[in-house]
């Protein structure tokens, strides 16, 4: 990089980088150390454990149903991620490659839906599913599919916008040449658009996955004991003590690290696609 283009001198850049890394790493380091410490020591404010122990990692599976919560989160969030990515690329293909009346209105509506806070929709969504359940005589509240539909309504607009931005950067000549050669719409999508859109698909899928994985608000209302997600199960650690005993701080830290492991693994595995998908359409 040309030194003239640098905004800050190299020593100052290095100092700021170290400072930012320290700010980010300090909370993570505390969680890691607390997860191998005793509850009493963590409650007393002890930062560095006097004796390392892995007992917290063994006990988290019996204190609360963490395994079932992780399975529910993986099932719901994974299904939402796949559905949002696939439906998003199909919707984006129509919005980008076809000109029809109301196309701009649809795009603006998708963008406007992102500005609505989820807290405002909590009660309407709950009442809607409860009414549907009473009308049809089927179970809605407390089921995984209701949580899936809820997350889908929030994840699809964002996934569609990501894919619209990405597909706009693909050369339209490829689709036109394929159509001249006799390829249909499905063949164009499956053989050209989807293979060339992997970075955008990965970004849409991961952000949709995070939507379902990190949510506590809707999951705490729309689930029951058997369908709780990992985020809701983590809340239970604060109320799992008996008779005023010290809360299981160490187990809560260990459970938080276990729940963060799938997300960290996703980022490490697909970081190349994430960077490419997020920067797509930024330079024309």
Q: Where are the domains of the chain?
A: 65-279
In eight-state DSSP terms, residue 101 is: T
In eight-state DSSP terms, residue 47 is: S
Looking at CATH, the fold of the domain delimited by 65-279 is given as MetI-like fold (1.10.3720)
Hey, what long-range contacts does 241-245 have (CB within 8 A, 24 or more apart)?
none
Q: To which residue do tokens 């790493």 refer?
A: 25
Per-residue confidence (pLDDT) for residue 4, from 0 to 100: 42
CB 190 within 8 A of CB 149: no
Q: Record the tokens describing residue 111, joined without a space.
A: 């963008």
3-state secondary structure of 149: helix
CA 200 to chain centre: 15
Task: Check whether 80 has a pLDDT greater than 90.
Answer: yes
200 C-beta neighbours (distance < 10 Å), count:
29
81/85 Cα distance (integer angstroms): 6
Per-residue confidence (pLDDT) for residue 276, from 0 to 100: 65
58: Cα within 13 Å, side-chain hemisphere? 5
3-state secondary structure of 171: coil
Task: Check whether 278 has a pLDDT greater than 70.
Answer: no
Radius of gyration of the chain (CA): 23
Q: What is the pLDDT of residues 95-122, one digit of tens each?
A: 888 888 888 888 888 888 878 888 888 8
284 pLDDT tier (thresholds 50, 70, 90)? very low
Secondary structure of 176-217 in HEC code, one letter for each residue: HHHHHCCCCHHHHHHHHHHHHCHHHHHHHHHHHHHHHHHCCH
């Amino acid at each position: 990089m040309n030194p003239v283009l640098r905004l800050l001198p190299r020593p100052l850049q290095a100092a700021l980088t170290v400072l930012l890394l320290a700010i980010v790493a300090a909370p993570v380091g505390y969680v890691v150390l607390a997860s191998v410490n005793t509850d009493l020591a963590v409650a007393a404010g002890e930062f560095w454990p006097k004796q390392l122990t892995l007992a917290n990692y063994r006990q988290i599976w019996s204190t609360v149903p963490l395994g079932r919560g992780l399975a529910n989160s993986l099932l719901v969030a994974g299904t939402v991620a796949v559905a949002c990515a696939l439906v998003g690329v199909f919707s984006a293909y129509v919005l980008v490659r076809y000109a029809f009346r109301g196309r701009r209105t649809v795009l603006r509506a998708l963008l406007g839906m992102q500005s609505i806070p989820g807290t405002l929709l909590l009660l309407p969504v709950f009442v809607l599913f409860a009414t549907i359940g009473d009308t049809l005589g089927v179970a809605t509240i407390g089921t995984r599919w209701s949580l899936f539909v809820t997350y889908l309504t929030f994840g699809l607009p964002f996934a569609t916008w990501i894919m619209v931005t990405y597909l706009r950067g693909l050369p339209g000549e490829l689709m036109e040449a394929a159509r001249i050669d006799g390829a249909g719409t499905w063949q164009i999508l499956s053989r050209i658009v989807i293979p060339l859109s992997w970075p955008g698909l990965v970004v849409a899928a991961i952000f949709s996955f995070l939507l379902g994985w990190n949510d506590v608000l809707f999951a705490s209302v729309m689930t029951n004991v058997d369908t709780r997600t990992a985020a809701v199960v983590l809340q239970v650690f604060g109320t799992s003590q008996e008779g005023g005993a010290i809360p299981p701080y160490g187990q809560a830290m260990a459970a938080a690290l276990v729940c963060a492991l799938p997300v960290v693994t996703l980022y490490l595995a697909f970081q190349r696609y994430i960077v490419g998908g997020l920067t797509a359409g930024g330079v024309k």
